[in-house]
Structure 1
Amino acid sequence: MLVIEVTNAREVVRKRVGRLGERLLGTVVDAEAQVERALLQELETAFREFGIQARIYSVEGMQMIGRSHLELPVTVRDQRTVD
C-alpha cells in the first residue's frame, strides 16, 4: 500500500493561478482536494498504461505523525477503481 501526503498543495495552486487567484479560490476551493483530484487523474492514466489494477482513494482527515504513525479517522472524498 502506498500513502502519498501532498505537503505543498497551496504552493501548487499558487503556481497555477497566481497569488490573486489563490486568494479568490482559497475561499471557495480546497487546495489540497484540487491537487489530489489532479493526482488521481494522473495516477489513473499511468496505471492504465502499465496494466495496473488498483483502488485509489482521496481521503480527508488522515495525517502522518512522524515516520511510524498514521492518524485516523478517514473520510473518503473520492475513489477510483482502475481495471
Structure 2
Amino acid sequence: MVVMLVIEIINTREVLRKRIGPLGDRLIGRVLDHEAEVEKAVIQELETAFKSFGIEARILSVEGMELMGSRLEVSLKLREQRQVIP
C-alpha cells in the first residue's frame, strides 16, 4: 500500500522572519524566496525524521496544486525529488 501526504505551509513568511530576525526581514521577497527556503528546511527535517524511523520514501516538491475548499486541483510541475533510504 502507498500512503501519500500533501502538506500546505501557510505561514512561510512568518517562519522565515522568525529564523532570520528583523534585519533579514527586509530581504524577504527581494533576495530570499520565503516559500523556497521554508520548503527546503521542511524537506530536510522530513528526510531526517524518516531515516530515524526507518521509513523509505520519496519526497516530491511540486508546483501547481491548489486547495479549493475540500477539493484538490492538480496541475503538477515537479521541482525536486529525493529518495530516502534509512
Normalization by structure 1: what TM-score? 0.86
Aligned equivalent of 1:51: 54
| Distance (Å, rounded) in 1 between the aligned partners of 2:64 and 2:32 | 17
Provide structure 1 residue ranges, at least 5 long, that are not aligned to the other structure. none
Match of 1:25, SS state, is coil
Superimposed CA distance per residue, residues 15-67 of structure 1 (whole angstroms, 9 cap, x where no aligned partner)? 11124412213212221111111010010011111111111111122121112
| Distance (Å, rounded) in 1 between the aligned partners of 2:17 and 2:37 | 12
Match of 1:26, SS state, is coil
8 Å Cα contact 2:13/2:28 also seen in 1: no
Provide structure 2 residue ranges, at least 5 long, that are not aligned to the other structure. none
Aligned equivalent of 1:42: 45
The ranges of structure 1 where at least 4 consecutive aligned residues each deviate by more than 4 angstroms after the TM superposition are: none
Task: Please tell me the residue identity of whatever aligns with 2:73.
Answer: E
Normalization by structure 2: what TM-score? 0.84
Larger strand fraction of residues: 2
Find the partner of 1:60 among 40, 59, 63. Answer: 63
| Distance (Å, rounded) in 2 between the aligned partners of 1:78 and 1:28 | 21
Q: Which moved more, 1:19-28 or 1:8-17?
A: 19-28
CA-based RMSD of the aligned residues comes to: 1.4
Larger helix fraction of residues: 1
8 Å Cα contact 2:50/2:84 also seen in 1: yes
Count of matched residue positions in the alignment of Structure 1 and Structure 2: 82
